[in-house]
Amino acid sequence: MSTKAAKRHKFRVGKMTFLDYFLLVLLTVLSLMIIIPFWNVIMISFATQKEYADHPLLMWPKQPTLDAYRALFQDGRLLGGFLNTFKILLVGLPLSLFLTSTMAYGLSRNKFPGKKGIFFIVLFTMIFNGGIVPLYLVMKSLHLTGSLWSVILVGSFSAFNMILMMNYFQGLPESLMESARLDGAGEWKILFSIVLPLAAPIMATITLFYGVSFWNGWYDAMIFLRKAEQLPLQNVLRTIIVESTTNVSNAASVDALAKSGFSTGMKMASVFVSMLPIMCFFPLLQKHFAKGVLTGAIKT
């Protein structure tokens, strides 16, 4: 009985070595570096202003309060931002899924004249684009600037998402569609009654992709929209956080903050409610995004 070898083997595979504990501690410290900033933000939003002023290192408020949230609600601007973002999602998600799935299905089918050319037209937009200036002028000439439609339309197609969906459709058995075709079903009918019901996983993935990009979008809205009451959530958050802190370097900024009407507590409450939906969807997001990015970026 070579106890020594057996022991060593057991030692390596079964029991925790010093290295394992070291890794655990190291990774815990690293993840605390992610968690503590979030925790601090959330706790400040529940603390009174005085308590925060006395202890910026706040980790657990002694007198938790909803004052910041109440004030935020009364101010109403962030609420308006939420409403606009919901409007964008409500119209943008179905539209983007329609545009993406029709094209993905069309390109996933057998050869037809011009297929390669059309695919290149899509692919080329991933390599080259006009940039924001001509896009703005085109939007203006279409009289879309100043309307939420500009933000919805610009965000409702992505070549990357289309290609992901196309790859999925290509994996579906052709025989299903062929038999439907023999039954006299047209391609549109096949897409909606056969392909899409089979494509629930990719539809979920792509819905999340578009959902996150609409939720996090702000640049288009900043360029295309004019009135403050039209702005989506992220832009409202930006005015609350980034633009009100014009100069965060000196103590005078504290006065400026007070003037802007938003206490630190209210700012942190805004940050928290803006990321809350992402937090709720996160388990789903993580799973689907990892899959998407892996099929899209590298084949393993």
Residues 54 to 93 in contact with another protein, rule: CB under 8 A = 56-57
The answer to whether 167 and 122 are in contact (CB under 8 A) is no
- The smaller minimum CB distance to another protein, of residues 70 and 140, is found at 140
- The smaller minimum CB distance to another protein, of residues 31 and 229, is found at 31
Q: Between 138 and 177, how does the x/- string for binding to another protein read (CB under 8 A)?
A: x--xx----------xx-xx----x---------------
Residue from 132, 204, 228, 280 binding another protein (CB under 8 A)? 132
Instruction: Give me the least distance between CB of 64 and another protein, in Å please.
Output: 18
The number of residues that bind another protein (CB under 8 A) is: 111
- The smaller minimum CB distance to another protein, of residues 65 and 167, is found at 167
Q: What share of the chain is helix, strand, coil (3-state, %, to 5)?
A: 75, 0, 25
Residue from 79, 83, 203, 212 binding another protein (CB under 8 A)? 212
The answer to whether 193 and 71 are in contact (CB under 8 A) is no
Residue from 135, 172, 196, 256 binding another protein (CB under 8 A)? 135
The answer to whether 157 and 100 are in contact (CB under 8 A) is yes
Per the structure block, which two tokens stand in for 209?
């992709």
- The smaller minimum CB distance to another protein, of residues 87 and 181, is found at 181
Scanning residues 14 to 43, which ones bind another protein (CB under 8 A)? 16, 19-20, 23-24, 26-27, 30-31, 33-38, 40-41
Radius of gyration of the chain (CA): 26
Instruction: Give me the least distance between CB of 230 and another protein, in Å please.
Output: 16
Per the structure block, which two tokens stand in for 117?
């050319």
End-to-end Cα spacing for the chain: 43
Stretch of 69-77, 79-87, 124-132, 198-206 contacting another protein, by CB under 8 A: 124-132
The answer to whether 265 and 47 are in contact (CB under 8 A) is yes
Q: Does 228 contact another protein by CB under 8 A?
A: no
The answer to whether 171 and 201 are in contact (CB under 8 A) is no
Kindly state the DSSP code that residue 243 receives in the 8-state scheme.
Answer: I
Kindly state the DSSP code that residue 76 receives in the 8-state scheme.
Answer: -
